[in-house]
Homo-oligomer: A and B are copies of this chain.
C-alpha cells in the first residue's frame, strides 16, 4: 500500500499523472470525474499515501462537511445512545460529526455553540435543554448555520424539531396502568430542566381525566442531573410517609424510576404486578438500564434510532437544497409500551 508519503496535492498530481484541479474535483466528489480517471486516481491512492489537508480544504470552502452534534449530557446513557445514532447517520451521509456534550450545564451549551461557530459547520443537530437553553443564542446561531433540534423542543427555534410524542406515549402507559390495576399517580421533579417533563405531566393530567380518574402529581425537590438520587431520596420519603394515594406510580422518566425502585427495595416494599406486590412503578424512555432494575422496569420505549435518523436527514435535506424550509416542521415519533415486571 502506502509506499511513499506525499506532501501535498501538487506532488500527488505529479506521481499520479492527474492534474491538480481534477484531483481537487475528485476529492470533493468522486462522481464528478469520469469513471476512468476516477479509477486511475483510486489506483494511485493505493500506491501512495496521500490525503488532502483538512485545514487547507476547509479554509477555502464556503461551508465545511462538518456537522455539530450538541447533547445535553453524555453521561446519561439515553443521550449517548441517541448521539451515537446521529453520529452514524452523519458518517453514512459523508459528513464529519463533531460531538459536543454540554455536561448538564446550559452555560456549556452556549459555549459549545460558540466554539462550533469557529468550525464553520454545515449544520448542527442540537438536543437543547429546553427552556433552560438560551433561546436567543440558539436563534442567533441559527441565523448563521442551519440547526435541527431533537429530543427537546424550544418553540420556534431551529429549522425543525424531531422528538417523541409524549402525549401518545404517556396516554399509552396510563391506559395500561388503569386497565391493569389502580390508576397511577405521577412522580416528577419540581423544577424540571426538560420541556418533555412538562409535556408528560400535562399528558398524564389529560389522560387521567379522559379515563375518569383523579390525577395526583408528586413533585420532588432537587436540582441538577442526579435524577436517580432525587428519585430515591424524595421517593423514599414519600413512600415512608405514606403519601401516595395509590399503589401505582408513573415516573416522569426511567432515571427517577430507578431511584424509586431503589428506595422501595430499601424499605422492603415488594414492587411488581404479581401476588404479594405492594407497589407498581413505571417509567418512561426505556433507559438502557431499565431492563436490569429489580424488578425490571415497565416503561415506554422511545425509538432512538428513528428520532436520530429523522433529525439527521431533515438537516441533510436542508443542506442539499441549500434553502431553509419555509415552515418549521415538528415530527413526533410514537413510543411503545414495554411491559416488564415492575408494573
**Contact of B228 with A54 in the complex, beta carbons under 8 Å:** no
Residue A81 lies at the interface, judged by CB distance under 8 Å to chain B: yes
Copy total for this chain:
2
Contact of A294 among B59, B261, B291 (CB under 8 A): B261
Residue A178 lies at the interface, judged by CB distance under 8 Å to chain B: no
Contact of A74 among B56, B80, B289 (CB under 8 A): B80
List which A56-101 residues lie within 8 A (CB) of chain B.
Answer: 56, 58-59, 74-75, 77, 80-81, 83-84, 96, 98-101
**Contact of A265 with B289 in the complex, beta carbons under 8 Å:** no
Q: Within the assembled complex, what's the spacing in Å between the Cα atoms of A51 and B53?
A: 22
CB-CB nearest in chain B for A96: B115
List which A239-264 residues lie within 8 A (CB) of chain B.
Answer: 258-259, 261-262
List which A257-286 residues lie within 8 A (CB) of chain B.
Answer: 258-259, 261-262, 265-266
Q: Within the assembled complex, what's the spacing in Å between the Cα atoms of A187 and B295?
A: 22
Given known contacts A74-B74, A292-B258, A118 and B265 CB-to-CB distance under 8 angstroms: no
Residue A232 lies at the interface, judged by CB distance under 8 Å to chain B: yes
A140 to chain B, nearest CB (A): 10
CB-CB nearest in chain B for A74: B80
List which A37-60 residues lie within 8 A (CB) of chain B.
Answer: 51, 53-56, 58-59
Residue A293 lies at the interface, judged by CB distance under 8 Å to chain B: yes
Residue A119 lies at the interface, judged by CB distance under 8 Å to chain B: yes
A79 to chain B, nearest CB (A): 9
Residue A288 lies at the interface, judged by CB distance under 8 Å to chain B: yes
Residue A103 lies at the interface, judged by CB distance under 8 Å to chain B: yes
Q: Which of A96, A265, A294 gathers most chain B CB within 10 Å? A: A294
Residue A196 lies at the interface, judged by CB distance under 8 Å to chain B: no
Q: Add 5 more A-B contacts to A74-B83, A75-B288, A99-B100 (CB < 8 A).
A: A55-B56, A74-B74, A75-B80, A77-B77, A84-B103
